[in-house]
Structure 1
């Protein structure tokens, strides 16, 4: 009798477990840069499971990069193999919206009550807006900052409390660092970051733009672009910048072999861990942001819903809300060098974190300068970023370091040929 009751009880429990499993909605999530985000997404998924056991989040093998993520989504849209939720580079929203791949979020946002009290605000929606609709919410935001090896900078005569804020000052300090320690690099600049991000930064910082207002003509070849490309050339010719790719630059700086490194705040946690106790690190704001029109492009990634089924979309919205909400955003900030765009996260959850980690607060101070990471229009948008990168490489490699203006002219002409609605050659 007891045995029959035990068997019956187990059957009931098994039935309950089976019913629970069947009642779960699975949401497949995919993200880029595993070296930066795998720990982050696993931790957020663990917290989400505690509050929404009815939704099972499955993490698909990550994209290698933003470009890889976008290309895979474009292919998977054709073969109907899309994940339900995808994290994409901020500058890749446009190309996916043009292909009608992500779902608009406006209806979900409108249905939320007191959404602003959860830290969501208009600037967050603006970042993911395309063609008048919201298609993405920002997850991890980065801005360009300056990393300084204070040991090398102090040895070269710099005041740690008054580091240079202009490119002239930065390059001068790089030269002094090189002179005081010949076996190290004075400066490195992550010019090859995805999507021409650190090409756009010095152009936008001076108040410039990539194209004109109706996006028919190149605009980065004006005074702002001339300043930017001449500065890149000076980093090589005057600052002694070596021809290294981004990972090699990071490794050299963390090893104490570079005095100044200009890159994304997203590298901060990784670089800090790599440095350990080898030297004292201080981060500093990006140089020469000119008022009143100077801005800096927001890097990082946004989250989109790609699910087609309504039940999947509804569940995906709950995932998106949690990942970009106060709890998810706080985990993201604490496990990476990125900034959360969520107000409640910054003002409440991370208040003490920034006091204890002032290097992380440098980029937060630049938030008023934030602008969109520009994406070129048309089917050649991705190709244009490669064309720009190839031209910039001729400066950094030494091939055309002494003729930056000529490189800029050639780059503008090549980009102009790839623009839709082209109206003549670039001037």
Structure 2
């Protein structure tokens, strides 16, 4: 290797070393500046954090003081309300007593009330109720929940700060128009006259137990929205089932084809129409108390009926004719032959229908005429018997002509 090349190599090496030193210096300077800035920022942040902590502690202390003051005020307000209620009750009771008693008794009662020593007042005791237990009660002002000891009687719900503190007694009157409303979970509202008390039980079972006992004390239980929707769904389902059943019954009734009844006698007869007075062939079915008729023996859907249960008559006419007289109308009928007509009349007679023949009608009319002539006998004994016989003969001939006249 030549000296020149070696010299150049060494030169470049020295240059590279210089560059590395320059880069190190620059990097150290940059890092130092950045570290300074970061330290300044960190110090500022730490100062801000310290200030925030101190401010937060100060606010906590102030809030706690405010809460204590508000609780004291709320407790005092409730105590004043209860005292006012008690004094009102006492005043009303005393007024009623004073109105009933005389003036002397009034004075004596006031003196005895004034003389009674304060030391003789009994110590407060927690009453024996239907149900006892702890519930969370929401305060009226702060809306916070505090644990209280509750005792339920027939007409009052008592609550205390604890089960060992009967002095701090407060009451809720549940004697008239109170409602219990299930809110959500273990929460329920007791709506009294003065205010609504929001209560929380330890479990759903405990909540249901309280609601059950309140219900037995004649407190109205209002179901929640979910229970209402469930009951509405049940009613809707029942109505749907009833509608479905009725529709199915109607479908079954519609699907059932009409059938001819089983009768004593069946067959075709010609019946006179009520308006046009024309005779049309119809298919008849005779039962014990009804006569059904149809357009044909293949069409039971065109059913009509004649009631034979009371005071029906059959008048026998010429050839194969006969009339069926009912309360509402007279049906004129014609059989295919006299034998067929007599067969129908025989069966009608078995159904306790009166049969009137032309001979009977004639004899009936003759009898009526004779009776009338006998009643209208002459007042004088010298009247001629021949004239009576002639008049009877004429009237009988007229009656016979009237019967034999075509209808």
TM-score range, shorter chain: under 0.3
| Larger strand percent | 2
TM-score w.r.t. length of structure 2? 0.20
TM-score w.r.t. length of structure 1? 0.19
